[in-house]
């Protein structure tokens, strides 16, 4: 045999011995581990109850998971009817428990916001009606409207102070011109 053949034979023998040692070693014993069953945890699911009225399939009370949006409340009563005027409803506004969502119809007139001798109902007034108030222009009217859509109806006239741009002076000018029905 040549020296080259001897080296190859010795290498093959060494490789076979290493493989025999590797595969012939005892394997680690498996020990069965028992884990106690998981305790069932009941998650508290927060819900809100909302009254949905107007141009919807099944007007009435609906209970939905919180946090929720106006769109969730409308979907919860079966959705809007084909003649619903959804462009006048902020579908992304957050919902709070006890809130009412009214979906107007395209073919119906919006109820007038002026209810008492020249007073404007700030929870029903549109942008044009709000602009008619003393010291309220298009920008402030939009802020009032957007605040109402985002935070729900005003509970008192003083809640107008939460609207950016309305301070004590502006509120004093508006106080005799608005109501919260």
Instruction: Locate the domains of the chain by residue range.
Output: 47-103, 114-179
Q: What is the pTM of this model?
A: 0.41
**Residue 113 and residue 101: Cα distance in Å, rounded?**
16
> What confidence score (pLDDT) does residue 114 get?
44
What one-character DSSP code corresponds to residue 152?
-
pLDDT in tens, 41-75: 555 679 999 888 888 889 889 999 999 999 999 99
Place of tokens 């609906």: 62
> What confidence score (pLDDT) does residue 6 get?
79
Q: Who contacts 158 (Cβ-Cβ below 8 Å, separation ≥6)?
A: 171
CATH architecture of 114-179: Orthogonal Bundle (1.10)
> What confidence score (pLDDT) does residue 148 get?
86
Residue ranges in the chain assigned as alpha helix (H): 3-24, 70-76, 127-131, 138-151, 168-174
Is 95 in contact with 69 (CB distance < 8 Å)? yes
pLDDT in tens, 71-100: 999 999 999 988 888 888 888 888 888 888
């Amino acid at each position: 045999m040549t020296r080259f053949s001897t080296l190859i034979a010795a290498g093959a023998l060494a490789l076979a011995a290493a493989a025999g040692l590797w595969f012939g070693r005892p394997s680690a014993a498996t020990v069965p581990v028992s884990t106690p069953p998981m305790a069932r945890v009941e998650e508290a699911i927060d819900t809100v109850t909302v009254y949905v009225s107007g141009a919807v399939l099944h007007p009435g009370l609906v209970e939905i998971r919180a946090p929720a949006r106006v769109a969730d409340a409308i979907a919860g009563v079966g959705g809007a009817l084909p003649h619903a005027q959804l462009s006048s409803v902020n579908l992304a506004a957050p919902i709070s428990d006890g809130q009412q969502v009214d979906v107007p119809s395209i073919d119906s007139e919006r109820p007038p916001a002026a209810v008492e001798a020249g007073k404007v109902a700030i929870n029903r007034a549109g942008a044009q009606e709000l602009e008619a108030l003393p010291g309220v222009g298009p920008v402030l009217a939009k802020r009032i409207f957007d605040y109402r859509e985002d935070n729900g109806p005003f509970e008192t006239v003083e809640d107008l102070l939460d609207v950016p741009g309305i301070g004590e002076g502006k509120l004093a000018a508006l106080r005799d011109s608005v109501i919260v029905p």
